[in-house]
Amino acid sequence: MSTVARTKLDKELQKAVQTVQGLHKEVQKGIAAHSQLEAQLNENKIVLDELALLTDESRVFKLVGPILVRQDLFEARDIVTKRLDYISGEMKRHEKAIKEAEDKQEVSRKQIGEIQAQYQSIAKK
């Protein structure tokens, strides 16, 4: 009887551990993506600061493939501002996903704790 209960617990434990590991990877991936976005956000902020310093007669170029294309200053500012919005949005999305994965991880961890407690109660019998 106790061996049956034990194999059942073994399976449950294995499943829970796998879930935690999977979630851990998800969190790691989320954090990596988030920090990359943060770097991009900073770079775009710097660019916007630079663009803000320019006057109307300044000439702005955008690198498209191997060539530099002349670009309107206001258009450039617009593009960078939109990019900043997009990146901040993406960052928030990742933050949410990370938080969710962490919460799920916590639930699975508790499960593991419960399973371990059950092991002990079986062992005492």
Partner 1 sequence: MAQVAGPIDIYSLQIPQLEQLRSALEEEIQILSNSLQQLKKFQIKFVESKECLQKFRPENKGKPLLVPLTSSMYVPGVLSNPDKVIVEVGTGFYIEKSISDAETFFDRRVAYVTEQMQKLQPTLQEKYQNKEAIVGVMQQKVQQYLASQSKEGAPKQ
| Residues found near partner 1 in the complex (CB under 8 A) | 27, 31, 40, 43-44, 46-47, 50-51, 54, 58-64, 68, 71, 76, 80, 83
Which residue lies nearer to partner 1 by CB, 46 or 107? 46
User: CA–CA separation, 94 vs 101, rounded Å?
Assistant: 10
Which residue lies nearer to partner 1 by CB, 10 or 38? 38
Chain centroid to CA 121: 39
Smallest separation (angstroms) from partner 1 to the CB of 97: 15
Smallest separation (angstroms) from partner 1 to the CB of 41: 11
Query: Residue type for 28, please?
Result: Q
> Helices 73-124 and 2-53 sit at what angle, rounded to 10 degrees?
160
Q: Which two tokens stand for residue 4?
A: 């049956």
